[in-house]
Structure 1
């Protein structure tokens, strides 16, 4: 909690905390080895978060904006809404955390929508809702996903299949029913 003041990163604080648990005997090395699903989760999440930050660092987000923005010119705003929202939703597969995903793509996607003439409030609500679909898409999309997956009740393939099917239902609601409702309200 005083990491910033003491110039200690969260990673170093966590490592120090685990070290203290080992040194004091609260946790044995065998206890740590027995938690295979926890180690699996930590390794996967760590790698995926690193990958997401590198994609942003190497300019994937700005490239995505340039590549997507130009082809959208001249389309009706409802078409832009559907295309940008669908891409925003399904690109979540490439991000390890909702925070990294939203921070990287929310501003870019909002810019594309507003440039197409979609009211900012409507676009913000749509992206706010679509930002939550990542919980069903992958086991690493939200913080609780790895814990639920680690319980062992579903296979990775089963999770991805069920998540994709649920996303189709959500997308039908938010990309078909939603725009019609917003139009009825006079917001689109």
Structure 2
């Protein structure tokens, strides 16, 4: 393997900086996206990466674009009140069947699991549906303390 090169040391330092900014970002007032872009900028400026390296990662750009769309759509569904409306409708439907709470909980969990097959990634699935299903369970009274 040989001795550690300059680029490898720069990569280690940049990674430590980016992870530190990500972990302590809230306390420092630094958004996680700023931490990521700072790391990328350092690697580009110091020649560890060049822009062609970034552009050649087609699957990474595809993933970024799709996650942005999925998370943005999930956020807008929540902001527009659709998640609350849907969760109230589902909770009322489950209550109208007079199911015991374990049975209703099982129905919700099974549907959450089966809907997973409509998503290309677990992260997209959780980002789009977690808040909706949590709201449904809260509306149905499953998680009340």
**TM-score with structure 2 length normalisation?**
0.63
1:54 and 2:76 are equivalent in the alignment: yes
Q: Which residue of 1 aligns with 2:134?
A: 106
Tell me if structure 2 keeps the 8 A contact 1:3–1:10.
yes
- State which of 92, 96, 111 in structure 2 corresponds to 1:87: 111
Count the aligned residue pairs: 115
Deviation at 1:89, TM superposition (A): 3.2
Q: Which residue of 1 aligns with 2:44?
A: 22
- State which of 96, 106, 119 in structure 1 corresponds to 2:124: 96
- Whose Rg is larger? 2
Q: Which residue of 1 aligns with 2:53?
A: 31
Deviation at 1:60, TM superposition (A): 1.8
Q: Distance in 1 between matches of 2:34 and 2:42?
A: 12
Structure 1: gaps of 5 or more residues: 115-119, 121-188
Deviation at 1:85, TM superposition (A): 3.4
Note the aligned Cα RMSD (angstroms). Answer: 2.7
Q: Which residue of 2 aligns with 1:77?
A: 99
- State which of 72, 82, 88 in structure 2 corresponds to 1:66: 88
Matches within 5 A, 1:94-173: 96-98=124-126, 101-109=129-137, 111-112=139-140, 114=142
Q: Which residue of 2 aligns with 1:183?
A: none
Describe the superposition over 1:36-66 as per-residue Cα deviations: whole angstroms up to 9, x where unpaired.
1111111111221111111112112211122
Q: Which residue of 1 aligns with 2:31?
A: 9
Describe the superposition over 1:60-79 as per-residue Cα deviations: whole angstroms up to 9, x where unpaired.
22111222122333424266
